[in-house]
Amino acid sequence: MVAEADLQTVDMLLNMGPQHPSTHGVFRIVLTIDGERIVDAEPHIGYLHRGTEKLCERENYRQIITLFDRLDYVANFNNELVFVMAAEKLMGLEVPERAQFIRVILAELNRISSHMLFYGAFGTDIGVLATPFMYGFRERERIQQLFEAVTGARMMHSYFRVGGVADDLPDGFTAHTRALLDELKRGVQECDRLLTYNEIFLERTVNVGAITGEEAIDFGVSGPVLRASGVPMDVRVAEPYLVYDRFDYEIPLGKNGDCWDRFWVRIEEMRQSIAIVEQALAMMPEGPFQAPVAKFGFVRPPRGDTYARAENPRGDFGVYLVSQGENTPYRVKIRGPSFCNLMALKRMTVGHYIADAVVILGSLDIVLGEVDR
């Protein structure tokens, strides 16, 4: 006869990562499971730490832009933007309008490119395998080719400068970009039709990893993850920067804050980014693309401190900058949206199945270069 004690079960620890295709980088999460159910989740970060903030203390303002390219390495323009905005704010520098429009166009195209990468990876996390990757990377490649034509690099652009941009747009940029936008409209529509209302996709994402707006705010969540929970917070609207207050666009909002809403918000954001770029192309003035500041990167903001923020593809990206009047900062502190969004991972994961952990983590769209930095 089997004793009752022999029939008791114990929780099991399941190690996911740091080398795992569904963690999207060197990220580790230790799951405590009861059968197939997750009862606890403990994230572990730091495997990719490179000391970016400390490195900023020994490089001049021009050189630091290359470090921001490598933080969130699929949103390079968006990262460069916030750092140069912080320096410009401290200097009281007025950026030429043409440069501001160029920045908007490239930042919004970078948002689409980043969301297309999310689309492909998330489809694979769900189990759809190669097709979403093919769709997403087809559109992303078109954008990367345009970026290469503008900056000479596909990813690590180092194109934004304190006071403007490194160079004016190449000949034929407007016509090329308008043709690209027509292709992107069709591409987003095809991506939407492939996954959004697919029956299996809905089964894997609806009511999975749901989090309320109040909880999201408490965890410091921002970006598409926050707006998927119904909170209409977008830095482009709440604290307009560059020329965003001149454009007509909407902020997509979810209702349930689950994995499906987080996916849907990003699909709709791509459509809104296309609309912003169309308006920016029509409104962009001629004129200088760079304010008259020191060349070769030897910018010297006055003594003081400031904070700048912008809407990164993953959320509220901020830079706190302290200057002592030298050509290198005294301190640079980064507020990364991926790092903050990870704070809610345990709350989203506990109570779901093991297979759901992959989907929930994928719906956050983290980039470990920014998390660990």
List the chain pLDDT tens, one digit each, 373 residues: 556 666 677 788 888 878 777 777 788 999 999 888 999 999 999 888 889 999 999 999 989 999 999 888 889 999 999 999 999 999 999 999 999 999 999 999 999 999 999 999 998 888 877 888 899 999 999 999 999 999 998 889 999 999 999 999 999 999 999 999 999 999 999 999 999 999 999 999 999 999 999 999 999 999 999 999 999 999 999 999 999 999 999 999 999 999 999 999 999 999 999 999 999 999 999 999 988 875 555 788 999 999 999 999 999 999 999 999 998 999 999 999 999 999 999 999 999 999 899 999 999 999 988 888 8
CA distance 244 to 140: 23
The three-state secondary structure class of 11 is coil
Domain ranges, ordered by start, for the chain: 52-337
- DSSP three-state, residue 321: strand
Task: Characterise 35 by phi-psi region: left (phi > 0), alpha (psi -120 to 50), beta (else).
Answer: left
In the chain, the amino acid numbered 83 is: F
Q: Are 268 and 337 in contact (CB under 8 A)?
A: no
Collapsing DSSP states into helix, strand and coil, what is residue 161? strand
In three-state secondary structure terms, 40 is strand
Cβ-based neighbours of 305, under 8 Å, separated by 6 or more: 90, 320, 321, 322, 323, 331
* Owner of token pair 């979403």: 132
Tell me how far apart the alpha carbons of residues 179 and 166 are, in angstroms, rounded to a whole number. Answer: 24
Is residue 270 a contact partner of residue 115, using CB atoms and an 8 Å limit?
Answer: yes
The CA distance from 116 to 208, in Å, is 22
Full-prediction pTM beyond 0.85?
yes
pLDDT at position 55 is 94
pLDDT (0 to 100) of residue 229 = 96
DSSP-assigned letters across all residues of 240-277: --TTGGGS-------SS-SHHHHHHHHHHHHHHHHHHH
Question: DSSP alpha helices (H): ranges in the chain?
Answer: 52-55, 61-69, 76-91, 97-126, 130-151, 173-195, 199-205, 213-219, 224-227, 235-238, 259-283, 337-341, 345-349, 354-364, 368-372
Task: Give the distance, in angstroms, between the CA of residue 144 and the centroid of all CA atoms in the same chain.
Answer: 16
Whether the CA torsion 59, 62, 67, 71 is positive or negative: it is positive
What's residue 2's pLDDT? 56
Q: Specify the pLDDT at position 215.
A: 95
Residues 104/75, Cβ–Cβ less than 8 Å: no
Look up residue 118 and give its amino acid: F
Position 284, amino acid:
M
CATH topology of domain 52-337: Cytochrome-c3 Hydrogenase; chain B (1.10.645)
DSSP state of 110: H
Cα separations in angstroms, 350 against 24, 41, 357: 20, 7, 9
